[in-house]
Structure 1
Amino acid sequence: MTDDHVRPIPRRPARGGDDVYVVDTRSRRGGGVAPRAGHAAARAGRSRATSPPPDGTRYDELGRPLPAATPSPPSAPRPRRGRRSGGRGAARWTVLALLLWGLFLLATPLHAWSTVARVDAAPDGNRPPASAGHTYLLVGSDGREDLSADERRELGTGSAEGRRTDTIILVHVPSGAGKAALVSVPRDSYLPIPGQGENKVNAAFAIGGPELLVETLEQASGLRIDGYAEIGFGGFAGVVDSLGGVDICVPRDMKDDKAHIDLEEGCQTLDGPDSLGYVRARYSDPKGDIGRAERQRQFLGAVMKQAATPSTVLLPWRWWGFTHAASSAVAVGEETGPTDSARLLLALRGVSSEETLSLVVPIADVNATTSAGSSVLWNDQQAAGLFTMLREGTPLDTPPPGTEGLPG
């Protein structure tokens, strides 16, 4: 560079009075400004930084290589909060609904049980010792006191005063192996009645009510009766109607004016009045009172089977209606609790599936002449054998001798 390329360019004097000169380094030929080495290096560095070579190395503005960046792992997709929270909300509502439904199913029979009438059925004095398992007395009463004149005509109950028993069934639930058993006691069974001499067992109920009937059967069987349940005419019909009728297979054409029925043979749905007539009829049955007892056990099993169907349990109004119709129709002993009631109902339900044996007290004569008129005499030996098996807890899987019906 020559001196003629240096020329002073006057500028505003700086503070202090010194002159400021700018050296013109432009080339004579090109008239451009020669790049400084530092600027060129910086531009080269920027070029390298903005355009990385094929090996992937990056540089800073001064051309220095930058450390290699560690690649970030791919992030997991974020869950869709709206959909998940919506699903959780639906699940919570479903669980809540199921809990409320379960509470309703449980609370309904408990509320119904709290309204059941109570009667004194435990006799005074000496009673048999506790047996293996549990034995309950189920009675169908023909009392008409709670029926209006129209209801008596509709149900065909007549107008007789007082209370008698159309149904007497001992229900035995074993504590161990073996099946439960329903043992029908014919209402005309001729038995000793405490303090009353010998008479038809039906008279015990008419004279002394549940207490005397329980005492009579305990002495005759040697079984301790652990609970008592009684259902009346109108109550029975109401229970059937609360279920929308009960499906039953009628074994033969049945026309009975006293029972107010005219039924054809075959399976059909019976309403309340027809059901009551079906379980009461005996004059149109060739087996008389024995045939009636068979139909009573059959029908009780059918009622409990219908009560346990989804069409009853899953419809709130029907479940409520059935449990409260049953509670208003039934009277139970003072010592009979909810657990006793549950055992009794489960045993009745088992009749339809043959998980419960359907028996009758062994009989020697169905038309014996006695001081009480035509009566039923038990086969003492076979009856004692049956009651001993129940008392001692001998498992029953088939009917014992003499318990299937009429004497051979």
Structure 2
Amino acid sequence: MAGDDSSRGAMPPSFTPPSDGRGDRPRPDGAIPVGASGGRSQPRVPRPPRPADDARSGARITRQSTRNTGEQPVSRPSSAPRRTSAAPERTSRPPSVPPRDDRRTAVSTTARPSSRPAAGQAPRPAQRPSEPPRGGSDGIRIRKGRVVALLLVLVLVLLIAWPVGLIIWANGKVQHVDALSGAAGTDGETYLLAGSDAREEGVWEDGTTGARTDSIMLLQKPDSGPASLISLPRDTYVEDIPGHGPGKLNAAYSYGGPALLVQTVEGLTGITVDHYVEIGFGGIEDIVDAVGGVELCLDYDVDDEKSGLVWEAGCHVADGETALAFSRMRYSDPKGDIGRAERQRQVIGAVADAVVEPSLLWHPGRQVDLIDAGTAALTVDESSGMVDLAKLGLAFRAATGPDGVTGTPPISNPDYRPGGVGSTVLLDPETVPQFWTDVLEGNFEPGETVGGLPGA
């Protein structure tokens, strides 16, 4: 038995009898196993840390920081083998490159678009500052600009269409009369203005009846030189009224109306009339009221019973009724018929100034009232229309302005009585032929007052 013990002690050191019944397979690493039934236990030697452990340690730190910021933990790849799972395998990155969290990227992309292109994608072109986002405030501004442009176009159309429509409408209201003689034309543009008047009771202070021409004016716009407005006294003596012999100038209107008056004036002056315009002084009242009144001046007091004019010396704004009385007044005027012609020119000139006043352009209602009153008071020849009346207004304003010429033909006798026709106004036979030549050719000095009574 002793021999058995000695022989057992003589066993090689590499042989260890099995103590756990698992067999006698030697362990290659020479480690001493720890049995479940009480074999000698040895302390476990810790393994040196692997590089993957550092990565896992960084991941644990990242998870701790992301827990504080409310973000999800980030998994970092490890070089150590890991157990496979159902999730698809991700591409491993070097330790120096932090892994990309797809969930964080998704959230970040929604909140703040990145200007960096993704790997493998072409860079997106930068959005131009001039390109407004659809539906933004710039889009609203563009629509407002279009609305403003449309409104401007509509205003421009109205500015063009309104005057054209007004002229067409007015042309349909103008009264026409056969007045022109058809004689050969002369230089420049010549208008014959006849101020007709009629009393409702039909009887004048001198006993005549019906309508007659209280005012006769020749408006000449020469090819060169100043425009002139010459008043022909209604009682001017005429040696021959065609078909009626000698008489007063205004008698021609009573005998044959506008056509005979035109022929008589052409024979007296040697100037062919291009346009005939008859102004009913009864309509002057409405015209003056339509323009809001006109300023008239007279340097003496008047209280005339026949015309109804009551006037204090000076300049005053007159309404239609006062302007009509101002035009009709004769017997309280020291210059009689000559003075009345001057006041009638003043009334017509004031109306012409008011008609071309720029402020009237912004009052369409007043324009309609003026045209309505004017067309009711005006009668023109067959070939004239609103355009000719507009040219007449401009020529009238030029003639009565600071550079125009006004006056009457030279008069030799204001109370000439040839017999059979009463008291007439005799024009100066020595100077009147040259006077009409100067009117036709525009030979007078701008701003000059011509003709008139002897010694005036």
TM-score range, shorter chain: 0.7 to 0.9
Q: Which residue of 2 aligns with 1:274?
A: 322
Q: Which residue of 2 aligns with 1:60?
A: none
Do the aligned residues in 2 keep the contact of 1:132 with 1:390 (CA within 8 Å)?
no
Q: CA deviation at 1:31?
A: 7.8
Counterpart amino acid of residue 198 in structure 1: P
Deviations 1:108-159 (CA, angstroms, capped at 9, x unpaired): 24312221111111237xx3x3111111110011134xx5x6xx89xx9999
Counterpart amino acid of residue 306 in structure 1: A
Cα pair distance change 1:335/1:42, threshold 3 Å: closer
Q: CA deviation at 1:313?
A: 2.8
Counterparts of 1:165-314 in structure 2, within 5 Å, are 165-175=213-223, 177-191=224-238, 192-314=240-362
Q: CA deviation at 1:33?
A: 6.2
Cα pair distance change 1:345/1:115, threshold 3 Å: same
For the residues of structure 2 that align with 1:317 and 1:352, how far apart are their CA atoms?
28
Do the aligned residues in 2 keep the contact of 1:361 with 1:383 (CA within 8 Å)?
yes
Paired residue for 1:76, among 129, 135, 148?
Answer: 129
Counterpart amino acid of residue 434 in structure 2: G
Q: Which residue of 2 aligns with 1:12?
A: none
Paired residue for 2:428, among 366, 375, 379?
Answer: 379
Q: CA deviation at 1:361?
A: 1.4
For the residues of structure 1 that align with 2:437 and 2:206, how far apart are their CA atoms?
40
Do the aligned residues in 2 keep the contact of 1:170 with 1:182 (CA within 8 Å)?
yes
SS of the counterpart of 2:412?
strand
SS of the counterpart of 2:417?
strand
The normalised TM-score by structure 1 is 0.78
Q: CA deviation at 1:45?
A: 4.8
For the residues of structure 2 that align with 1:251 and 1:113, how far apart are their CA atoms?
39
Deviates more, 1:354-363 or 1:76-85: 76-85
Q: CA deviation at 1:265?
A: 1.2
Deviates more, 1:94-103 or 1:288-297: 94-103
Pair 1:343-2:391 in alignment: yes
Deviates more, 1:69-78 or 1:232-241: 69-78
Cα pair distance change 1:311/1:47, threshold 3 Å: closer
Q: CA deviation at 1:351?
A: 4.7
Counterpart amino acid of residue 299 in structure 2: P
Counterpart amino acid of residue 141 in structure 1: S
Deviates more, 1:239-248 or 1:204-213: 239-248
Paired residue for 1:29, among 17, 39, 46?
Answer: 46
Counterpart amino acid of residue 185 in structure 2: A
Structure with max Cα Rg: 2
Q: Which residue of 2 aligns with 1:89?
A: 147
Cα pair distance change 1:158/1:369, threshold 3 Å: closer
In structure 2, runs of 5+ residues without a counterpart are 1-26, 32-43, 54-76, 80-91, 102-118, 133-137
Q: Which residue of 2 aligns with 1:43?
A: 94
Paired residue for 1:105, among 153, 163, 181?
Answer: 163
For the residues of structure 1 that align with 2:197 and 2:130, how far apart are their CA atoms?
76
Do the aligned residues in 1 keep the contact of 2:227 with 2:399 (CA within 8 Å)?
no
Do the aligned residues in 2 keep the contact of 1:184 with 1:359 (CA within 8 Å)?
yes
Cα pair distance change 1:71/1:87, threshold 3 Å: closer
Cα pair distance change 1:111/1:251, threshold 3 Å: farther
Q: Which residue of 2 aligns with 1:137?
A: 192
Cα-Cα RMSD: 3.4
SS of the counterpart of 1:166?
strand
Name the structure, 1 or 2, with higher relative contact order (CA <8 Å, separation 6+).
1
The percentage of counterpart residues that share the same residue type is 36
For the residues of structure 2 that align with 1:194 and 1:398, how far apart are their CA atoms?
35
The normalised TM-score by structure 2 is 0.70
Paired residue for 1:117, among 175, 189, 206?
Answer: 175
